[in-house]
Structure 1
């Protein structure tokens, strides 16, 4: 919040705020500085190649879960039941991934 006394005598008050008490209020989320730091790091030259791989790794897993494993809709209700479904889905996806690795090169696993 700005000072009422300082803003009340300012010649640029009409450009800054239209409030009747001549006070400018800027609201920021409590974690806004962390959000800004993450956004800054995301555009760093060392992180850009890693962030570009996200669409091939992380996002693909969730897309496969939605399209191939029924995670687009659910008939279950409640956090416990949905957590169970998600854990079983991702466990089965991990088993499929391990099976594919073993099938391709059985010596490394």
Structure 2
């Protein structure tokens, strides 16, 4: 049988008291100021209009890659092989875009 020493008894009581208390700890990221500034800039009127064009430009590129260039699925295994397929696909898309620009001229975005 172990005797309850005053130290052990005191530790048990402290741990019980800590379980009853609600301790709230809030963490802030080191770069939180930059995130707040980015949110502030994104919500200005000029940047809202630029951000709205994202649907027409950037997201359209990925949609074309999925639909027209087989990026929805892959038969390859391994990060290196899939990365190579993605790079070749986007290189081909850039060449097509460059060819269209030389024949038609760049479209104003």
> Considering the TM-score relative to the shorter chain, is it more than 0.5?
yes
Q: Which one has more relative contact order, counting CA pairs under 8 Å at least 6 apart?
A: 1
RMSD: 2.0
Matched residues, number: 87
Gaps of 5+ in 2: 1-18
CA distance in 2, matches of 1:67, 1:29: 38
Residue 61 of structure 2: aligned partner: 61
The structure with more helix, counted as a fraction of residues: 2
CA distance in 2, matches of 1:39, 1:58: 20
Higher CA-based Rg: 2
Alignment of 1:91-102 (within 5 A): 91-102=91-102
CA distance in 2, matches of 1:30, 1:77: 37
CA distance in 2, matches of 1:25, 1:66: 43
Residue 9 of structure 2: aligned partner: none
Q: Aligned to 1:67, what secondary structure does the other structure show? A: helix
Quote how far apart the aligned CAs of 1:87 are: 0.6
CA distance in 2, matches of 1:52, 1:21: 48
Q: What is the TM-score with the length of structure 2 in the denominator?
A: 0.67
Residue 42 of structure 1: aligned partner: 42
Q: What is the TM-score with the length of structure 1 in the denominator?
A: 0.67
Gaps of 5+ in 1: 1-18
